[in-house]
Amino acid sequence: MQTPPSSWVVLGQWLAGLAGLPVDTVGAPLGIFLGSVVALLLIMGIVTYMIYWLRKVIAFMQSRLGPMHVGYMGLLQTPADALKLLSKEDVVPTLADRALFTVAPVIVFIASYLVYLTLPVTPTLYLADLNVGVVYVSAISSITVIGIVVGAWASNNKYALVAAFRSAAQIVSYEVPFALAILGPVALAGSFSFMELVRSQGPETQALGRLFPAWDTALEWFVFTQPLGLLCFLVAGLAENNVTPFDIVEAESEIVAGFHVEYSGMKFAFFFLAEFANTMTLAVLTTLVFLGGWMAPVGDAGAVAALGGPTSALSTAWHLGWFGLKVGLLITVVFWIRATLPRVRADQLMDLGWKLLIPATLVLMMMTGAWVSMGFSRWSLAAVNWAVLAGLLWLGSRKQIARVEVDRPVLGPAARPEGVA
């Protein structure tokens, strides 16, 4: 199926024609530039109110009110915080490398933004449909660690440097299962393009949905074929983004607020915004790769036909609504995890990555590749995946956790100090 032209490219060609410029050579770059600017502004706005939503979610779970006083229901609290950061003094340590100290947060933020250049939102709302989109996202997201290490080293602070080394080890460790978990859907779709990944989850594949026609769209989503891959992908994404319970890099009680301890004002805000932008990136990638992208779970093809076809404005609004709903629910789940799970230890973090996630995603990738190369059905692959996932969960529930018996005395009678009963 041919990809519909990008709405941004069409807009750029129209504007180039109005200005009397060459449509073929100027239209597409102009449209992509305009789309990039709009995407940046939207990301900044969404990330700002993600912070508000995080506060509200955690406040609800802890029986608090959260932001209430600045604006209606506290809606202007995060813009007020942003204004505060803009007006704060830009403090640079005396012995810091000023140039690298300034560039580091920009590197982290730009890396979190460039990922969106190849992520489609609807069949027509995208900037570039790269045939190596998955590889591009994996490569760009790896740049973040460079900014973190450079910023900590330029700060000339040993606590920041220790946190940066922790971050480098954590990101490098979890990049491997993060990338391997996507390769299962890539093998099933036969492409690294995100457009093709979403299309291969449509009802026309007739893999799982043919037995339940009422759910012909939702049952084709890769979450049903690759449930273990989805679980590994989410866990690795949380760890790579330093999100609780994997926020060891910013463990305030241990390493004085992490690698950005010397930053203030807007430089700190760049690090802070990049963290929330990466959380949204994880939700967007999960939606595209495992949850059918912009497609509704039921009757999507019929709704698109009734709304005038895939390129109509009504169909675009329909798909945009479903895409936003899925991404919003996933972001809420991430915030739910942040509010409930305690921070893991460093050794537990590394054990989870190297001893569980990497072997599991390697086996899953080889198993999916074997299924595809031998022409087996997705039904059998889904059955094996769910069986393996159930087995792993059962083994996890059987694992003995070390407990301290409260009633047993810590010191034996011979070791007690004199006079202690």
Does any domain span residue 405?
Answer: no
pLDDT for 284: 93
- Interacting residues of 288 by C-beta distance below 8 A, sequence separation 6+: 119, 120, 194, 197, 198
Same domain? For 56 and 164 the reply is no
> Model confidence over 351-374: pLDDT tens digits?
888 888 899 899 888 888 888 888
Does any domain span residue 417?
Answer: no
What is the pTM for the complete model shown?
Answer: 0.87
Same domain? For 148 and 248 the reply is yes
Please say if the pLDDT value at position 11 is more than 60: yes
Please say if the pLDDT value at position 214 is more than 90: no
Same domain? For 25 and 156 the reply is no
Same domain? For 263 and 121 the reply is yes
pLDDT for 378: 79
Same domain? For 105 and 229 the reply is yes
The pLDDT > 70 percentage for the chain reads 89
- Which strand (E) or helix (H) includes residue 176? helix 158-189
- The b-or-e profile of 372-402 (16+ CB within 10 A means b, else e) is beeeeebeebbebbeebbeeeeeeeeeeeee
Please say if the pLDDT value at position 399 is more than 60: yes
Binning pLDDT at 50, 70 and 90, where does residue 408 land?
A: low
Residue spans of alpha helices (H) in 88-220: 98-114, 133-141, 144-155, 158-189, 194-199
Which range of residues forms the domain containing residue 12?
A: 1-87
- Mean pLDDT confidence for 230-256: 79
pLDDT for 324: 92
Please say if the pLDDT value at position 268 is more than 80: yes
pLDDT for 211: 60
What six digits make up the tokens of 321? 């609504």
Domain boundary residue, one of 87, 118, 141: 87
pLDDT for 331: 93
Please say if the pLDDT value at position 216 is more than 70: no
> Model confidence over 135-147: pLDDT tens digits?
898 888 888 888 8
Contact between 91 and 264 (Cβ < 8 Å): yes
Please say if the pLDDT value at position 10 is more than 80: yes
CA distance linking residue 297 with residue 299, whole number of Å: 7
Q: What angle do helix axes 265-290 and 313-340 make, rounded to 10 degrees?
A: 110
* Between 12 and 415, residue with greater pLDDT: 12
Same domain? For 65 and 198 the reply is no
Same domain? For 332 and 355 the reply is yes
Total Cβ atoms within 10 A of residue 158? 11
Radius of gyration from C-alpha coordinates of the chain:
24
- Interacting residues of 88 by C-beta distance below 8 A, sequence separation 6+: 264, 265, 266
CA distance linking residue 376 with residue 254, whole number of Å: 51
Residue 203, preceding peptide bond in cis (omega within 30° of 0): no
Q: Which of 195-204, 208-217, 232-241, 274-283 has the lowest mean pLDDT?
A: 208-217
Does any domain span residue 267?
Answer: yes
- Cα 376 to chain centroid distance, Å, stands at 31
Domain count, the chain: 2
DSSP 3-state percent helix, strand, coil across the chain (nearest 5) = 70, 0, 30
Same domain? For 223 and 335 the reply is yes
Does any domain span residue 411?
Answer: no
Same domain? For 287 and 319 the reply is yes
- Interacting residues of 5 by C-beta distance below 8 A, sequence separation 6+: 124
Does any domain span residue 420?
Answer: no
Same domain? For 78 and 102 the reply is no
> Model confidence over 54-105: pLDDT tens digits?
999 989 988 888 888 888 888 888 889 888 888 888 888 888 888 999 899 9
> Model confidence over 294-345: pLDDT tens digits?
888 887 788 888 888 878 888 888 999 999 999 999 999 999 988 888 888 8
Choose among 53, 117, 163, 132: nearest CA to 281: 117
Give the single-character DSSP code of 156.
T
pLDDT for 351: 87
Domain boundary residue, one of 42, 71, 87: 87
Handedness of CA 329, 334, 336, 337 (dihedral sign): positive
Domain boundary residue, one of 87, 115, 142: 87
Does any domain span residue 419?
Answer: no
Total Cβ atoms within 10 A of residue 325? 12
Residue listed under structure tokens 């790269």: 130
| Amino acid present at 37 | V
The pLDDT > 90 percentage for the chain reads 10
Same domain? For 347 and 215 the reply is yes
Does any domain span residue 35?
Answer: yes
Does any domain span residue 416?
Answer: no
Please say if the pLDDT value at position 32 is more than 90: no
Give the single-character DSSP code of 89.
-
> Model confidence over 278-305: pLDDT tens digits?
889 999 999 999 998 888 888 778 888 8
> Model confidence over 151-163: pLDDT tens digits?
889 988 888 888 8
> What SS3 state is found at 112?
helix
Same domain? For 175 and 213 the reply is yes
What six digits make up the tokens of 310? 């895939």
What six digits make up the tokens of 44? 């900044």
